[in-house]
Amino acid sequence: MIGIGTHLVTCPLQPSLGCVYKLVEVNGSPCLKLTEDEEKMTIPGMKAIYRLYDAAGHPFMDLMALEEEPSPSAGQELGIRVLGRLEETTKVIPSTVEPLHRTYFRDGQVCEPLPSLPEVRTHAQVSLNLLSPAHRRLHEPQPYPVAVTERLHQLFLELRQGSL
């Protein structure tokens, strides 16, 4: 199998967008794109994503889970793996959990009314204002972590081992 990369289809002197569609499941089976560049690897399977908040009401992490996993709960200790530091397990206890994934289109049909542009703008402004000052500061902001559940991490490892 061969893939066409950004440098083959665009001139290196021209800007390119560093995001593309990544296939994560085929006919109900999770799949994985293998690459030496860890940032370009896919995270397999259908997922749900949650925003975790601290006691002060600030979001401190976004968490990806497999769609069939139970939703995390406020006050529940979670074993997670932060992207970029997958070799270590971290324990977190969110004060609040907000599901982020919404389905607006299914099978080519609108299944939930689309928000208006002013609603989207207001939502984005509110979300930014909720961030901790450490994440919002202009000089040396603290990176905002994204993590995966242990179950999603295990699926990733199983698929990677099976592909080697």
Residue that has been written with the tokens 């689309």 in this structure: 114
Contact at 8 Å (CB) between 52 and 61? Answer: yes
DSSP E strands, 21-127: 25-26, 29-30, 47-53, 59-66, 78-82, 90-92, 96-99, 105-106, 109-110
Residue that has been written with the tokens 């397999």 in this structure: 44
Superfamily of domain 16-132+141-162: nicotinate phosphoribosyltransferase (3.20.140.10)
136-154 pLDDT tens trace: 999 999 999 999 999 999 9
22-52 pLDDT tens trace: 778 888 888 887 777 766 778 899 999 999 9
Which of 75, 77, 76 is closest to 89 using CA atoms? 77
Domain ranges of the chain: 16-132+141-162
pTM of the model: 0.80
Residue that has been written with the tokens 């928000």 in this structure: 115
